[in-house]
Amino acid sequence: MNHSKRHLLTGSHRLRYVAVFVLAAAVYAILIVAGYPLVGVGAWVVICTAGVAYRHRLDRPLFDERDEMLNRIAARRTIRIISIGSAIGFPAAVVLWAVGSNEWPPWLRWLAIYTAGFGFLYTSLRLYTRYER
């Protein structure tokens, strides 16, 4: 098999693998918002298990050093977007809730707590990493 065909095959494996986890996240979120949190968690577990099983069935590495670079860039962008969105969105939602203009559904409360925890974790790990170096 030549290099370009092997790259296409590996790329399709990567695409399938990532698509499984995108599907898991979408189904999970949709079911929670629709009011079926236990079904959402069950679907998440089943779909993610299928993704892990798929990866373990492959006879070659799925990711390489190029993927590591892409992961770093994507992680940096994710942190930036979550930080900016949270800094604007959640205080605005709290103000609307405090003046009685908006009632938070239960899933949004947990999302706010998770997002705050995510920010604290990132900041703590960043400070620890700086201290370590």
Q: What is the pLDDT of residues 63-108, one digit of tens each?
A: 778 888 888 899 999 988 988 888 888 888 888 888 988 777 777 7
User: How far is Cα 126 from Cα 62, in angstroms, rounded to an integer?
Assistant: 28
Question: Which residues make Cβ contacts (< 8 Å) with residue 56, sequence separation at least 6?
Answer: none
Tell me the C-alpha distance between 108 and 50, whole Å. Answer: 28
d(CA 5, CA 60): 15
Whether the model clears a pTM of 0.85, i.e. scores above it, the answer is no
Amino acid 11: pLDDT: 60
Could you tell me what percent of the chain has a pLDDT over 90?
35
**pLDDT of 42 above 90:** yes
Closest by CA to 85, choosing from 125, 103, 112, is 112
Mean pLDDT across the chain: 85
Q: How confident is the model at residue 3 (pLDDT cuts 50, 70, 90)?
A: low
How much is the average pLDDT of 33-46? Answer: 95
